[in-house]
């Protein structure tokens, strides 16, 4: 697989009507959280059990090809998709969280966002050393958060198996920040 090549996604597994339903359930909110940003709100999709189930099924099926041994979800919406993907694949789940949310010893990384700075943490135990870690979040925008999560994984001795997102905002170029790791994105805007 070439760097940043997309893994064959839900094509063939999900028909065009299902994808159209997902798109219809994702609303655009202008000027949130700051002026000039067009936020993609997944709340209506989360409110539709069939749409949520089919999206999690499609993410898990596409991620299966990456052969992960652990799933890491990025706080908070990455938990919504990461836990079901881990469950469907029969894999452990590890949360990547904001500071002060994990009770045991953590590894910490600071990174730049498109509109500020942030910090992520990951527990040191249970260990992910030697594991192939799939990093899951709802959205790939500029790639800063996903890149920081990947650095946490490698710092703790894991290998990034790839990334899985419900949505990719192509114009923001986040894919380019994620190196050679495969990327699954069910919807591209």
From 77, 88, 132, 188, active-site residue: 77
Q: Which residues are CB-neighbours of 175 under 8 A, at least 6 positions away?
A: 4, 140, 143, 168, 183
Check residue 89 and give left, alpha or beta (phi > 0: left; psi -120 to 50: alpha): alpha
From 5, 28, 114, 170, active-site residue: 114
How far apart CA 50 and CA 189 sit, in angstroms, is 22
Q: Where are the beta strands (DSSP E) in 26-171?
A: 27-30, 38-41, 70-74, 93-96, 106-113, 116-123, 132-140, 159-168
Q: Kindly provide the b/e burial profile for residues 85-119, where b requires at least 16 CB atoms within 10 angstroms of the residue's own CB.
A: bbebbebebbbbbeeeebeeebbebebeeeeeeee
Annotated catalytic, 88? no
Annotated catalytic, 177? no
Contact 154, 160 (CB under 8 A): yes
Two tokens at 152? 């946490």
Enumerate the active-site residues. Answer: 77, 114
């Amino acid at each position: 697989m070439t760097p940043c090549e997309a893994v064959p996604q839900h094509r063939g597994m999900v028909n065009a009507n299902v994808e159209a339903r997902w798109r219809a359930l994702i609303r655009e909110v202008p000027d949130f959280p700051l002026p000039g940003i067009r936020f993609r709100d997944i709340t209506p999709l989360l409110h539709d059990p069939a749409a949520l189930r089919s999206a999690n099924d499609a993410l898990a099926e596409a991620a299966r090809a990456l052969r992960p041994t652990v799933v890491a979800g990025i706080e908070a919406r990455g938990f919504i998709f990461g836990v079901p993907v881990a469950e469907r694949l029969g894999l452990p789940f590890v949360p990547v969280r904001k500071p002060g949310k994990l009770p045991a010893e953590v590894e910490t990384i600071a990174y730049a966002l498109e509109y500020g700075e942030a910090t992520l943490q990951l527990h040191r135990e249970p260990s992910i050393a030697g594991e192939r870690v799939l990093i899951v979040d709802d959205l790939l925008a500029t790639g800063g958060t996903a890149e920081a999560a990947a650095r946490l994984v490698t710092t703790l001795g894991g290998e990034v198996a790839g990334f899985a997102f419900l949505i990719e905002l192509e114009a923001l170029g986040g894919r380019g920040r994620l190196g050679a790791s495969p990327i699954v994105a069910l919807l591209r805007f």
